């Protein structure tokens, strides 16, 4: 009998240890919500937690004993073949502006917690439309790769980490992880790759809001895995389009992988959002981003002549007029694994210059590093192309200077150095 009890206790303790290990938080990510005084945090666990919780405070603390604030979260389950585990998400509310917060996530009932992380809120108490300087980063087409090849995301991540005190927001403009490239899981996606990528960016995403939009490599069977994993400030759970205001800049992210035709839900939302913002702030900055570019010049199908690529023609026909009509200053995308930028352009026609723009300036920055490698062959220079065209991996930095000037820099991963830069003056388009 004693031996039986000892064996039972041994098995019970080991099972308990396995369960405990399987609710340790992984892949911790911050994102904005629809409310300016909130921050969402999302994390992954192998097993379902009993009480997903975020603890946060304006001072360093020990979990449970002396944390100031507690928020109970919710648990989201994947419904895609091949994806297991649980997504936990919670919202930190009633945050103060311009304040550093410390936080950790975990299971309150089991007293299992992550490390303590921190983030700083923006100056959301400033008057509407007042531009306050800050820096955000943009990059696309970044996926997890084993090892440290030059195509690996590790260089982009490491270089961004080296600048983490300079940057306030991160934007990943589609093609996240490349979990559809690892056979035999290409249709539903490979969760091992998906999770490894999220863990690789966690040193960034646990400290800075990590905003995304979906790319073609994030569709899998459908976009369900994407929308459940990346909890963006959308109006409805199944949407992949949203907007937010930060220090006087209006950001709009949309999905090039959904219907964007006129009268579609997304097209209607985009126009209404732009119209409402322009009505309240006719002279404010608008920065839009999505995965697929309007203008690009590598030798590749999507960047070919639009008379050849019917889907590209429909994309331009459906959306480009909105950028012009509502004075969208800057559009940033990926999809092409290269970097280039345009002069102000509308319907393939140059409209002014960066000092006096009369149309949107477009930037392609699909250079995060991925398993497919770079696009390295270029078409002859287009009339709207200006500055550097390169296949070097890297990322962009958008530096908001004031109400009349934005500064853009492209940073090459090699040596973490700026190799392209320009200033964009606020322009008013002729409608």
> Could you list the pLDDT tens digit for every one of the 431 residues in the chain?
565 554 444 434 444 454 467 999 999 999 999 999 999 999 999 999 999 999 999 999 999 766 779 999 999 999 998 899 999 999 999 999 999 999 999 999 999 999 999 999 999 888 888 999 999 999 999 999 887 777 778 999 999 999 999 999 999 999 999 999 766 556 788 999 999 999 999 999 999 999 999 999 999 988 999 999 999 999 998 899 999 999 999 999 999 998 999 999 999 999 999 999 999 999 999 999 999 999 999 998 899 866 557 789 999 999 999 999 999 999 999 999 999 999 999 999 999 999 999 999 999 999 999 999 999 999 998 999 988 899 999 999 999 999 999 999 999 999 999 999 999 999 999 76
d(CA 335, CA 362): 13
Q: What secondary structure letter does DSSP report for 281? A: -
154 three-state secondary structure = helix
221-to-82, 185, 216, 291, 292 alpha-carbon distances in Å: 11, 11, 11, 18, 19
- Residue 87 dihedral angles phi and psi, to the nearest 5°: -100, 125
Q: Does domain 134-425 have CATH number 3.40.50.300?
A: no
**Residue 395: CB atoms within 10 Å:** 30
Domain ranges within the chain, ordered by starting residue: 25-120, 134-425
d(CA 407, CA 88): 37
d(CA 210, CA 42): 11
d(CA 405, CA 399): 9
> 143 has which bridge partners?
177
d(CA 356, CA 327): 13
> Beta strand pairing status for 385-390 and 361-365?
unpaired
d(CA 214, CA 217): 8
pLDDT at residue 13, as a whole number:
42
| Tokens representing residue 281 in the block | 């702030």
Q: Which of 166, 246, 248, 240 is nearest to 204 (CA)?
A: 166
pLDDT at residue 5, as a whole number:
54
Q: What secondary structure letter does DSSP report for 325? A: H
> What are the residue ranges of helices labelled H in 223-332?
224-229, 265-280, 310-325
Q: Which of 196, 54, 194, 51 is nearest to 119 (CA)?
A: 54
| Tokens representing residue 355 in the block | 């000092």
What are the DSSP E strand ranges found in 115-241?
Answer: 117-120, 134-139, 142-143, 169-173, 176-177, 210-213
The reported pTM is: 0.93
| Tokens representing residue 157 in the block | 């991540």
Instruction: Please state which of the four CATH numbers 1.10.10.10, 3.30.70.330, 2.60.40.380, 1.10.1040.10 is assigned to the domain occupying 25-120.
Output: 2.60.40.380
Answer whether 375's CB lies under 8 Å from 367's CB: no
Angle (CA) 84-85-86 rounded to 5° is 130
Q: What secondary structure letter does DSSP report for 49? A: P
pLDDT at residue 221, as a whole number:
86
| Tokens representing residue 95 in the block | 């945050």
199 three-state secondary structure = helix
Q: Which of 338, 25, 48, 33 is nearest to 198 (CA)?
A: 25
| Tokens representing residue 174 in the block | 């589609």
How would you classify residue 378: left for phi > 0, otherwise alpha for psi between -120 and 50, otherwise beta? Answer: beta
d(CA 157, CA 202): 10
pLDDT at residue 206, as a whole number:
98
The helix, strand and coil proportions of the chain, stated in percent and rounded to the nearest 5, come to 20, 30, 45
Q: Which of 314, 316, 310 is nearest to 296 (CA)?
A: 316
What is the residue whose two structure tokens read 């570019």? 293
CA dihedral 247, 249, 250, 255 (to 10 degrees): -100
For helices 310-325 and 265-280, the axis angle rounded to 10 degrees is 20
CA dihedral 95, 96, 101, 106 (to 10 degrees): -10
């Amino acid at each position: 009998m004693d031996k039986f009890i000892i064996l039972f206790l041994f098995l019970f303790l080991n099972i308990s240890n396995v369960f405990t290990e399987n609710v340790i938080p992984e892949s911790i990510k911050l994102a904005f919500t629809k409310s300016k005084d909130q921050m969402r945090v999302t994390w992954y666990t192998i097993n379902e937690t009993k009480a997903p919780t975020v603890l946060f405070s304006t001072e360093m603390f020990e979990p449970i004993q002396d944390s100031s604030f507690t928020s109970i979260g919710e648990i989201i389950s994947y419904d895609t073949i091949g994806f297991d585990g649980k997504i936990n998400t919670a919202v930190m509310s009633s945050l103060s502006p311009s304040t550093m917060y410390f936080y950790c996530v975990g299971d309150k009932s089991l007293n299992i917690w992550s490390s303590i992380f921190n983030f700083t809120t923006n100056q959301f108490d400033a008057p509407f439309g007042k531009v306050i300087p800050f820096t955000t980063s943009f990059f696309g087409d970044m996926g997890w790769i084993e090892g440290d090849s030059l195509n690996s995301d590790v260089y982009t991540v490491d270089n961004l980490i080296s600048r983490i005190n300079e940057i306030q927001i991160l934007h990943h403009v589609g093609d996240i992880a490349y979990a559809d490239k690892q056979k035999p899981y290409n249709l539903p996606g490979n969760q091992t790759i998906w999770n490894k990528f999220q863990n690789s960016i966690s040193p960034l995403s646990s400290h800075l809001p990590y905003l995304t939009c979906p790319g073609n490599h994030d569709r899998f069977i459908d976009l369900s895995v994407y929308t459940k994993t990346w909890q963006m400030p959308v109006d409805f759970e199944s949407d992949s389009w949203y907007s937010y205001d930060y220090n006087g800049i209006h950001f709009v992210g949309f999905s090039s992988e959904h219907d964007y035709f006129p009268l579609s839900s997304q097209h209607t939302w985009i126009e209404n959002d732009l119209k409402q913002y322009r009505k309240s702030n006719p002279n404010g900055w608008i920065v839009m981003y999505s995965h697929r570019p309007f203008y690009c010049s590598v030798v590749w199908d999507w960047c070919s002549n639009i008379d050849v690529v019917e889907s590209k023609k429909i994309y331009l026909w459906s959306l480009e007029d909105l950028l012009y009509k509502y004075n969208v200053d800057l559009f940033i995308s990926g999809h092409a694994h290269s970097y280039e930028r345009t002069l102000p352009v509308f319907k393939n026609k140059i409209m002014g210059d960066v000092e006096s723009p009369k149309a949107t300036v477009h930037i392609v920055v699909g250079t995060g590093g991925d398993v497919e490698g770079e696009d390295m062959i270029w078409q002859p220079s287009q009339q709207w192309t200006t500055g550097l065209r390169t296949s070097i991996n890297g990322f962009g930095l958008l530096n908001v200077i004031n109400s009349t000037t934005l500064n853009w820099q492209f940073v090459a991963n090699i040596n973490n150095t700026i190799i392209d830069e320009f200033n964009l003056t606020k322009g008013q388009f002729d409608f």
